[in-house]
Amino acid sequence: MTASSKRIHLAVYDTYADWETGHTTAHLTQRGHRIRTVGPTAEQPVTTMGGVRIQPDMALADLSPEDSSLLILTGASLWDTGDDLAPFAEKAREFLAAGVPVAAICGATAGLARAGLLDDRAHTSAAAAYLDGQPGYAGAGRYVEADAVTDGILITAGPTEPVAFAREVFALLGAYKPDVLDAWYRLFHDSDETAFPVLMAAAERGDA
């Protein structure tokens, strides 16, 4: 796999919910993927919900699907207070149309709902009622009560499920073999101590 094909793009913007993508980006980095942050501009730093300042690697306008293997859209208060982040939902439309995966968690699912990107795809979010209130959303019949949902190349998850979100991303990208991914999820989501030896054995074999 080339360096370009392993590049992951993480959307960052003011009020970005720091905790929602930590598992995803940390473990993808360990698996050899390169994380690049994408902001509204490359010049202006953004401040996360946790008060952390991030200088984006690149501007959204400069991001092309052919240069990426995944676009991650995080939750943020801005998704619920206006249309400032609508360009990120439109970039997701561009990615999906090009056959490049998109993973959205928390408020980002509302942005996709308003853009009509969930109408024909199975998806989840914080709650069905949260999406029902989004203007233009017509996907209620495809809503799934689950921690995280993958439909083709689109992943969605609610705000309380960063580990399930990461699991779906890893599965879609083939980051871990199925048995190792199962052990990873059991350890980080369920605190199942029996999963630890499985991960250690996989690491020794070069599977993790």
* Residues identified as active-site: 106
Pairing of strands 53-54, 46-47: antiparallel
Consecutive H or E run containing 104: strand 102-105
AA identity, residue 135: P
CA 89 to chain centroid, in Å, comes to 13
Residues 6+ apart with CB under 8 A from 174: none
Q: What is the DSSP code string of 134-170?
A: STT---GGGB--SSEEEETTEEEE-TT-HHHHHHHHH
Distance of CA 26 to the CA centre of its chain: 13
Calculate the alpha carbon distances from 178 to 70, 172, 198, 208 in Å: 20, 11, 12, 11
What does the chain come to in residues? Answer: 208
Structure tokens at 181: 């991914």
